[in-house]
Amino acid sequence: MGKNMKQEPQKTELELSQSKAEEHLNNWKRAQADFENYRKDEKKRVAEVVAFTNERMILEVADIIDNLEMVLKHAPPDTKQDWLEGARQILKQWQTLLKKHGIERMVTTEQQFDPHKYEAVDGRGSTVVEEVRAGYEMSGKVIRPARVKVN
């Protein structure tokens, strides 16, 4: 009878140790899953910050392109052709840079007016007849609506 008494506490102690080990393992698995979720959320947050920053920079570049296009459009007739060609090349470089990063200039003229893509500044109607300011899309998302005249 004394022999059985000694084994009983050892068995309980073993079961207690196994229970604690299982609890620790489950806590570790939960912490591991929480950490993986945190990593995914952090990666998504960083991607959103980068996208926002890229959009802000692209909008500033778009303003530079607008100004350069305006200079070329309104250059005095006596402007040297070499100078105009140089300005056109600079404009082309800016446009190539945007395209390289997935930024597309929206096609506007003779398109059906879409209030999600265009901002009407003159006229009423459903067809775009003139672009006043270029609009840009990045990965299919409008980052700057085009200003247009409609008829």
What would the 3-class secondary structure string for 85-125 be?
HHHHHHHHHHHHHHHHCCEEECCCCCCECCCCCEEEEECCC
> What is the strand order of the sheet 128-133 is part of?
118-122, 146-150, 128-133
Confidence tier at 5 by pLDDT (50, 70, 90) = low
pTM of structure: 0.65
Reduced to 3 states, what is the DSSP secondary structure of residue 97?
helix
Percent of the chain with pLDDT over 70: 93
Helix (H) or strand (E) holding 122: strand 118-122
Confidence tier at 3 by pLDDT (50, 70, 90) = low
Q: Tokens for 54? A: 């890229």
Confidence tier at 102 by pLDDT (50, 70, 90) = confident
Q: Tokens for 62? A: 């778009």
pLDDT recorded at residue 8: 59
pLDDT recorded at residue 74: 92
Specify the pairing of strand 118-122 against strand 141-144: unpaired
13 has pLDDT over 90:
no
115 has pLDDT over 60:
yes
Among candidate residues 150, 60, 141, the one with its CA nearest the CA of residue 102: 141
63 has pLDDT over 70:
yes
pLDDT recorded at residue 68: 93
Percent of the chain with pLDDT over 90: 60
CATH number attached to the domain at 102-151: 2.30.22.10
Helix (H) or strand (E) holding 54: helix 2-73
